[in-house]
């Protein structure tokens, strides 16, 4: 009787943890980050090694072997190794783009919301212009003129995300600057920089974290789209978008060339979106759900 009660309590605790924390998202993102960090040790083959004799080997459960569990691509390269190395590229690109785009967008949002007036008007119109620009067409034009490169891709993705940070942070600053502790800091003679850095910035950090988490999925999708169109990381560096592009010609006979990297993008973006929603609900007191 006691043993049954203990098992019931154990099951209840597990279910409570699964409901309270985004367990599936944490597991998926943990695997992606682990694969990206230790990709040279985990990948069984060189992701760029070509072996035409091994081209289009199907996955293990569809007639293939465990030597290539996800099959091989049109050049005979191991898809499992390329997926692992592609995770490193996706995480690196997303991290760098969010750091630079987030810093720039947060700075713009702080200045715009705190200063107000004509400064706010000019900066927000710049944000509006940014959103009106077609990123894909700009990326293709720049890739044609300058050639595809990692630096160009990072710059385009940072340009993609900074507007979201600017708008969200500005909205928070418009509320925070009316609070008493910010007014007291200004009355006491604190400089504008000190007020923004010491009093306003800590109040918007939660918003910045949530926006960054929600933007990661968009950045990974944008990177995959640009790599698919040939404006991303140049070959032979493996990226998930480039893998889909190289396999789209053979989708009738070798569907795994596109399906495997597509599933990797789907799971990663879905996990990041769910994690961002959870963080928003946990951090924002207006949306927090008490159990």
- What string of H, E and C letters represents the secondary structure of 16-39? HHHHHCCHHHHHHHHHHHHHHHCH
Give a three-class secondary structure readout of the chain.
CHHHHHHHHHHHHHHHHHHHCCHHHHHHHHHHHHHHHCHHHHCCCCCCCCCHHHCCCCCHHHCCCCCCCCCECCCCCEHHHHHHHHHHHHHHHHHHHHHHHHHHHHHHHHHHHHHCHHHHHHHHHHHHHHHHCCHHHHHHHHHHHHCCCHHHHHHHHHHHHHHHHHHHHHHHHHHHCCCHHHHHHHHCCCCHHHHHHHHHHHHHHHHHHHHHHHHHHHHHHHHHHHHHHCCCCCCCCCCHHHHHHHHHHHCCCCCHHHHHHHHHHHHHHHHHHHHHHHHHHHHCCCCCCCC
Would you place residue 284 in the very low, low, confident or very high pLDDT band (cuts 50, 70, 90)?
A: low
Would you place residue 86 in the very low, low, confident or very high pLDDT band (cuts 50, 70, 90)?
A: confident
The pLDDT value given to residue 8: 52
The pLDDT value given to residue 285: 53
> Per-residue pLDDT for 170 more than 80?
yes
CATH classification number, 24-41+79-283, choose in 3.30.360.10, 3.40.50.1100, 1.10.3720.10, 3.40.50.10800: 1.10.3720.10
pTM above 0.85, yes or no: no
> Per-residue pLDDT for 14 more than 60?
no
> Per-residue pLDDT for 3 more than 70?
no
The pLDDT value given to residue 249: 83
pLDDT digits (tens, 9 = 90+) for 229-280: 878 787 778 888 888 888 888 888 888 888 888 888 888 888 888 887 777 7
> Per-residue pLDDT for 200 more than 80?
yes
For residues 135 and 141, give the distance between their C-alpha atoms in angstroms, rounded to a whole number.
10
The pLDDT value given to residue 171: 87
Mean of the pLDDT values across residues 103-124?
Answer: 88
Please name which of 262, 263, 249, 265 lies closest in space to residue 74, comparing C-alpha atoms. 249
The pLDDT value given to residue 289: 47
The pLDDT value given to residue 104: 92
- Average model confidence (pLDDT) for the chain? 81
> Per-residue pLDDT for 71 more than 50?
yes
The pLDDT value given to residue 291: 46
> Per-residue pLDDT for 142 more than 70?
yes
Other Cβ atoms less than 10 A from the Cβ of 38: the count is 12
The pLDDT value given to residue 25: 82
Mean of the pLDDT values across residues 205-216?
Answer: 82
% pLDDT > 90, the chain: 3
For residues 161 and 96, give the distance between their C-alpha atoms in angstroms, rounded to a whole number.
11
Of 21-30, 73-82, 96-105, 158-167, give the lowest mean pLDDT range.
Answer: 21-30
């Amino acid at each position: 009787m006691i043993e049954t009660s203990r098992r019931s309590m154990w099951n209840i605790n597990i279910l409570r943890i699964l409901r309270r924390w985004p367990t599936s998202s944490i597991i998926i993102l943990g695997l992606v980050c682990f694969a990206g960090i230790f990709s040279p040790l985990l990948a069984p083959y060189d992701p760029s090694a070509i072996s035409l004799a091994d081209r289009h080997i199907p996955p293990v459960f569809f007639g293939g072997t465990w030597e290539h569990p996800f099959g091989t691509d049109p050049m005979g390269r191991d898809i499992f190794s390329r997926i692992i190395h592609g995770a490193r590229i996706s995480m690196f690109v997303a991290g760098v783009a969010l750091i630079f785009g987030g810093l720039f967008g947060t700075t713009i949002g702080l200045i715009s919301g705190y200063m107000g007036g004509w400064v706010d008007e000019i900066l927000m119109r710049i944000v509006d212009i940014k959103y009106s620009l077609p990123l894909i067409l700009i990326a293709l034009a720049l890739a044609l003129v300058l050639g595809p490169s990692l630096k160009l891709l990072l710059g385009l993705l940072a340009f993609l995300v900074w507007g979201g940070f600017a708008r969200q942070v500005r909205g928070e600053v418009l509320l925070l600057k009316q609070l008493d502790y910010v007014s007291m800091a200004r009355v006491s003679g604190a400089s504008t920089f000190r007020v923004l850095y010491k009093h306003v910035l800590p109040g918007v950090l939660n918003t910045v974290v949530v926006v960054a988490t929600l933007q990661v999925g968009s950045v990974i999708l944008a990177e995959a789209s640009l790599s698919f169109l040939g404006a991303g990381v140049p070959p032979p560096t493996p990226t998930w978008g480039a893998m889909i592009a190289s396999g789209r010609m053979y989708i009738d006979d070798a569907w795994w060339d596109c399906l495997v990297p597509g599933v990797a993008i789907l799971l990663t973006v879905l996990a990041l979106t769910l994690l961002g929603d959870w963080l928003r609900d946990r951090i924002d007191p207006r949306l927090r759900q008490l159990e």
